Structures are given as structure tokens and as C-alpha cells.
Structure 1
Amino acid sequence: MKNRKWIFFLVFALVCVLVLILGHLAWGAEPAETLTLEKALEIAREANPLILASRARVDQARGKLIQAQAEGLPQAYATLGYQKLGERPETVALGPGGPVGIVPLGYEETWQAALNLSQVLYSGGSLSARTEAERLTVSARESERERTVQTVENGVRKAFYGLQRSLARLEVAKDALSLANEHLKQAEAFYRAGVVAQNEVLRVQVAVSTSRLNLIRAESAVKVAWRQLERVVGKSLEGQYAIPSGDSDVDAFPAFPDPLSRAMKRRPEMQGLESARQAALMTVRAARGQLLPQVGLSASASVADGDFFPSEKDDWSVSLFARFRLFDSGKVHGQVVEARGAAEELLYRLEDLKRQIALEVSSATVNLEGALQRVKVASDAVAQAEEDYRMALKRYQAQVGTNIDVLDARLSLVDARNSKIDAVAEARTAYGDLLFAMGEGNSVGQKEAAR
């Protein structure tokens, strides 16, 4: 008997300790941070591989610009050399009567140190044009980077709204299962009272099973939506952040009086292609500059000795030279034709881009208008479906309505709620597409996204 009391006491003590530990862990655990759209965009700008790659391309262009600038600046080189000969170079000194001695011409072991300087004085405008071309190329790469950031931001918006939609549909699936279970309890109570036949209970049980299947699908859709958001953001998010489900209503979006003109002014591709075209024209000037005289200055100083560090024999020289291209078999002409063709190609691409922007802005505007109309219709449908389900359930409870009426009304209610969730998400996505088509960053759409 005493052993049983001790065992009971030990079990009770262990349970108390376990409860205290779990309570402490639960109290000390920090809640998951809420992931807002702004936070997701901030993470994407720092972790998305495409954005990082676009920054690397800008760095490459800047490196080429530095190289082009360096070609027109002074160049200095220092050299240090060592030479060993089989024998010391020497010659015979001749006098009036014949050889009079041996004259050394150098060292058997020679150390030499030299400093060389060079500077381009005139390049026919080739170096300045090449430098300007590289500067314009940097501007084009920066425009590409900006558009890449906008593309990623638009992808983040779509994935974020898609996740909110999946979470909202999950809530609808849970509510639908709860309503189905309540209906099943009512049907079973009627069956036990002998009011309805067993087939009505079976039909409701099938509806409950269907609701559970829909719940499983909704949970899977949420997991997939998390993966999609993580893919575009470039970082793992699930478990570290919590995200609220999508709102059921959409307020009015900020309007733009002339979205097409705004897009033509703000799209980075327009600026990028124009910079690339100007760079090609500068390349034409750089190629033509090679036909003009190339003037340069070089200077050198050296010391040589048989011992290290050399200091005995010193020498220096200064040279001024001019180089003329007399004949190159059409090499420069080919470079001019190539650069001019590139500039012409970019001009045509710029014209095609204008048409593409007009199409994107028009499509985004139409899609936004249609999405807002669907939100209004879906909102009315939800209100009607809720009232229809309430009436069908009341009639069934009063035994003046059928079981099928309740099942159909609940199915219509679930469809209406899901349709409204989809319409809201599509409206926000359509507005994001309009911002993207106009070349706007996320700053314009943050107020709407925060709603």
C-alpha cells in the first residue's frame, strides 16, 4: 500500500514538473513575426538571386567604365631584371700601333631596374567616346536592374496575395466543415426521433466527408502557396513568419489620370534602350577616331650594375610619337558599320517596346476594371447565399424544408465565399500588374497593400 502511495506521489510530481516546464517554454516562446507585404518585398530585395545578379551586371559595367577611363590616364610600370652571360662582354682597344688593351662592355652578371611612363596625348576622340559609351552602358545596366527589381516585386505581390487567398479559402473550408457537422447533428437527431429516413443522414455524412476533403485540399494549397512565396523572395519563410488571411473587401485603388503617358516616362526599359542606343552611337565615334592621328608620350629611366641593387650605370629617354593608320583592310569601317547597325536595331526595339507598353497598360487597366466588378458581384452573391442558407436551415429545422435544400444552400454559400476571396485577390493582383506596367515601384502601391 505504501509503495502504491509513493508511486502515485512520484507520478504526480513528474506531471507537475512537466507542466511547469511546458508552461515556461510556452511563456518564453516568441510569437512568429507577422509577414506584411512590405516586409516580404524588403527580404526579396536583399535575397532574390535575380536582383543580386542584376547588381553584379551593374558592377561589371562599372568595371569596364573604369578600364576605359584608365586608358586616357598616365600609365607607369616598374621593372627589375637579372641577366647572366657566359663571359663578360668586352672588346679590344686599338691604338696607332695595334691592340693596346681590353675594354669591358658590360657585366657578366647584370642587375637592371627601370621605370617607364606613358601618356596618350591625342586619340582622335576615340578614348573619350569609348568612355562615354561605357558610361551610357552603366546607365543601361542600372535601368535593367531597376526593372528586375520591379519584376521581382510584382512576383512577390502575386505570391503574397496568392498565399492570402489560400489562407482565406482554408478558413472557408473550416467553416464549411463546421456547418456540415452541425447539420449532421441535426439530421441524426431527427433520425433518432423518427422524423427523417436514414438516407438523409447518409447524404449529410457524405457532405461532411466532402468538406473534409476540401479542407485537406485547402491545407495543401496553403503549403504550396508558402513555397511559391519563398521561391520568389529567395528565403525560407514558413515557421518564421505568420501571415494574415486576405481581407474580404477592397477599398478604392489610387487612380492615375493617364497611365500610358506615365508608363512611357517611367518604364526603365525605355531609359535603358535609349542609353544603349546612345552608347552604340558613341562606339561609332570611337571607331572613327582611330582613323585620326594617335599621339603619345613615353619616358623611361633605368640603372644597371653588377651588384644588387643596381646604381652605377644609369640612362633615361623621352619619346614623343604619332601614329597614322594608312591601311587596315577595312577593319575600322567594319567596326563603324557594326556599331551603327546596333544603334539602328535598338531604335527599332525602342519603337516595339512602346507598342508593348501600350498593350500591357491597356490589358492591366481592363483586367483591373473587370476584377473590381467581380468583387462587387461576388459580395452581393455572398450576402444572398448567407441569407439563403439561413432560411434553408430554419426551414429544415422546422421540417418544412428538405435536406437537399440545406446541402445545396451550403454548397452555394461556400462557392460564393470562395468566389469573393478569388475576386479580391485578383483585384489586388490586377492593380499590382498595372503598377508594374507603368514602371512604378512598390512605394505607390504600399498603401493599398497595407489594407
Structure 2
Amino acid sequence: MRRALLLLPLLLAGCAPAITARPEASLVTPPADWRTAVPASGPIEAAWWGRFGDAQLSALVGRARAHNVDLAIAAARVAEARAQERVARSLLLPTLSANIPASESRSVNAFGQPSESTAAQPSFQAAYEIDLFGRNAAQVDAARANAAAVAAAREAATLSVSSATASSYVVLLALDERRELLRQTLATRGEALRIARDRAEAGYTSRLELSQAEAEYRATEQQIPAIEAAIARQEHALSLLVGDTPQAIARGAGFDALATPAVPGVLPSDLVRRRPDIAQAEYALAATDANLRGARAQFLPQVRLSASAGAAISSLLGDPIAIWSVGGSILAPIFSGGRLQGQFGAATAQRDQAAFAYRRTVLTAFREVEDQLAVIDRLGVQEAALLAQRAAVAETLRHATNRYRAGYSPYLEQIDAQRALLAVDLALIQLRTDRLTAYVALYQALGGGAPT
């Protein structure tokens, strides 16, 4: 009989379903090199934002990493996941408990006399489940992998906040540069308006040129409040990133002083070890693997041991009486109406979903790096063309101004040349902004500093 009981778990183990392998379509093979060939330097520094050469930018990123509200929430989630891991680990250990019931009673004996008695029965109880088929161990593995995934998600959030802060600061300086350009243009057009007014009052020109000069002045003037509103909104966004109420943001050396960093030399095969979101997806996949093992173990028997020891103490007894018990049980599923099969099928599907989610994360990482490399490469070509265009427009403005002063052309030609030069200068500011923020996005796409 005993041998039959011992063989029962092993016989039932053969009835558990087999765990299938991960889908082959979820596997990812990194390319040998990047599609866009851009000259690269060495590895990324841990404080990569320092490569832009602005101490205020570095200070803002440091404040954001220390005080951002989203990162504080992410840290609390890590603490929660680690606490859940400790809960899961407790399944591998025996439980001990103490019970001390006591009572005092008064009754009437057979002779009609009152009788009082005091009784107590303290005991210690112990219970332990023998994890014969790894069900509890699978839960511990799942909790450990989930805690690691949450920690990786926190690293990804930290990288995202750092990148958002750096990009927002670059955009803020670019807005300052646009405002300064508009102010200079407004001063130039104000002087042109003064000259046009003097010429019109002296009868040298018609009122048409005066109206055109005033229209251009007002067109430039109305752009400045819009830029100032955008600057205020950008400062408020940066304040939120660093965990402060909306306030003014101190600037560093200025937009023109921002350095253009080098492209880091990171191979596609190294990317999967650098990106925290890829690590998060990998840990999430490991958690589903563990959950799948746990779902399979539900088909198998559970072996539990229990023991208790204590004493019976009463005023009616001369001496306490020791009491104890030792026992065990084997709980094996016989019929569950398809519940266990459904749980196992769901766990298998969740594992496959996590495998494809991992593939999607890796492919997205490759795409993001390629996108930024292509942007950086093409923006360099675009900048060369835009600088050549500016030189041509500036020369056009010089000729138009000379022709207007000599009386060979109307004032409208000079206005058109001024508009074209302003548009090109604004486009150059935007292009440099796009290029600097592309470097920020590239550092984020490459996983930031040291590998996670």
C-alpha cells in the first residue's frame, strides 16, 4: 500500500501535457552592420548628455533623473515587484504558527457544589509542501523575472526622461535663437520703415512703399509674441520633467555654443544587450516561461506534510499532558472540467505572445537606430544645400537693395529678398535643432550609457 502511494505521483506525472518550444518565427537574427554608414567613434559615455557641451543641460538632466515624478512611480513599482518576489519565495519554506487557547469556567458538580476550573492548550503547528514537481519554484522564478522586468522598465523610463529633458532644452535654446533673429529682423525693418516714412513725407516715394514697409514690420512684430508663448510652454514642460512647478529655466552658453556629438560605435549585435526595453521584454518572456511550468505542475499531485505539538494544561489535571500529531497528504487532480487544460493553454499562448513581443521590441530598436542614422546623414547634406541657398539669397538681397536705392527696381523686390533670407535663417535654426535632437534620439535608441 505504501509503495502504491509513493508511485502514484510518478504515475500521474506522465499525464501532464508537454511544454512546446517557443515559435521559431519569434527569433531575431541581428544584421551584421547598420544600413546607413555614418563615421562612428568609441562607446557611449554613461553621462552622454555631457557631449553637448552645456553645463546647464547636464544640470537639468541630473535634476530630472533625481526628481521626475514618473521615475518616482517607477521606483515604487520596483519596490512592489521585489516585495512580491519575497512573497513567492515564502512558498519554498515551511510555515510555523502558535496557538494558545485558554478558558476559565464555573460549573456545578454532582453534589450541587460550585466548581471552577482553568484550562489551556498551547501548541505549535508546522506545515510544509514538498515541491516535488517544481510548482512553487516556478512561481518564484516568475516573480523574480517579473521584478527584473520592472527594474528594466525603470531604466527605460530613466533613459526616456533623460532624452526628453535634453531634447526639450535644445528646443528651448532654438526658440531663443528664433526670437533673437526676429528681434534683429524687426530692428532692421523698423529702420526701413523709418526711411520709407521720411521718403514719403519728403515726396520722394509714393505712399505704397510706406504701406509695404509698415506691413512687413507688423508681420515680423506679430511673430515675436507667438515665439515667446512657445518659450513659456517649453519652460513649463521642462519644469515638469525636473519635478518642479512651472518656472523660468536658466540657460547655458546659448544655441550656437551647443556641440555636435559624435556617432557612437555600437554594432547591431550589441544593441540587444544595451537597450533596457529589450531587457524588459526578455525578462517578461522568462516570467511567462515560468508561469507555463507552473501551469503544467497543476496537473501533478501536491504533497503536504504537517505536524503539531503542545500540551494540555488544566486545574483539573495534576500534570500537563503532552499532545502531538504528525501527518501528510497527497492531493492529485482527477477531474476539473477542463480548467487545468484551459489554464495550460492560456499560459502557452501568453508565452508565445511574450516571445513575439520580444521580437517586436528588438526589431523596433533596430528601426529606431536606423531612422536616426539616416536623419543625421541626410541632415548633413541638407545643411550644405541650405547654406548655399542662404549665400545666394543674401547676394540677392544685396543686389535688390542696391537697385532699389539707385531707383532701378521697386521696393517690393527688396521685401521679397528680405522675406527669403528670413525664411532661410529660420530653416537653418530648425535644421540644426532637428540634427541635435536626432543625436539625442540616437543615444536613446542605442540604450544610453553603459549596458544594462
- TM-score, normalised via structure 2 length: 0.75
Aligned residue for 1:20?
Answer: none
CA distance in 2, matches of 1:63, 1:435: 33
**1:213 Cα deviation (Å)?**
0.5
CA distance in 2, matches of 1:212, 1:67: 65
More displaced, 69-78 or 420-429? 69-78
Aligned residue for 2:331?
Answer: 324
Paired residues, number: 395
CA distance in 2, matches of 1:337, 1:167: 58
**1:177 Cα deviation (Å)?**
0.6
* 1:73 partnered with 2:93: yes
More displaced, 313-322 or 219-228? 313-322
* 1:202 partnered with 2:215: no
Aligned residue for 1:140?
Answer: 149
The residue type equivalent to 1:220 in the other structure is A
Q: 1:26-425 maps to which residues of 2 (within 5 A)?
A: 36-85=56-105, 87=107, 108-236=117-245, 238-239=247-248, 241-242=250-251, 245-247=254-256, 251=260, 253-256=262-265, 258=267, 260-290=268-298, 291-302=300-311, 304-305=313-314, 313=320, 315-329=322-336, 330-397=338-405, 399=407, 402-425=410-433
CA distance in 2, matches of 1:45, 1:312: 68
Q: What do residues 317-353 of structure 1 show as CA deviations (whole Å, max 9, x unaligned)?
A: 2524242315252554443333222212212222333
SS of 2:222 mapped into structure 1: helix
Contact 1:123 1:289 in 2 (8 A): no
Contact 1:107 1:305 in 2 (8 A): no
Contact 2:68 2:241 in 1 (8 A): yes
More displaced, 216-225 or 317-326? 317-326
Q: 1:441 aligns with which of 418, 430, 448?
A: 448
Aligned residue for 1:96?
Answer: none
Higher relative contact order by CA 8 Å / sep ≥ 6: 1 or 2?
A: 2
- Cα separation, partners in 2 of 1:306 and 1:441, compared to 1, 3 Å: farther
More displaced, 47-56 or 423-432? 47-56
Q: Which runs of 5+ in 2 are unaligned?
A: 1-53
CA distance in 1, matches of 2:260, 2:250: 26
More displaced, 270-279 or 203-212? 270-279
**1:297 Cα deviation (Å)?**
4.2
- Cα separation, partners in 2 of 1:136 and 1:107, compared to 1, 3 Å: farther
**1:425 Cα deviation (Å)?**
0.7
CA distance in 2, matches of 1:353, 1:443: 19
- Cα separation, partners in 2 of 1:316 and 1:242, compared to 1, 3 Å: farther
SS of 1:327 mapped into structure 2: coil
CA distance in 2, matches of 1:204, 1:442: 53
Q: Which runs of 5+ in 1 are unaligned?
A: 1-33, 93-100, 445-451
- TM-score, normalised via structure 1 length: 0.76
SS of 2:307 mapped into structure 1: strand
- Cα separation, partners in 2 of 1:55 and 1:252, compared to 1, 3 Å: closer
- Cα separation, partners in 2 of 1:163 and 1:441, compared to 1, 3 Å: same
Contact 1:132 1:282 in 2 (8 A): yes
Q: Is the radius of gyration larger for structure 1 or structure 2? A: 1
CA RMSD, Structure 1 to Structure 2 (Å): 3.5
The residue type equivalent to 1:116 in the other structure is Q
SS of 1:204 mapped into structure 2: helix
- Cα separation, partners in 2 of 1:35 and 1:227, compared to 1, 3 Å: farther
* 1:429 partnered with 2:449: no
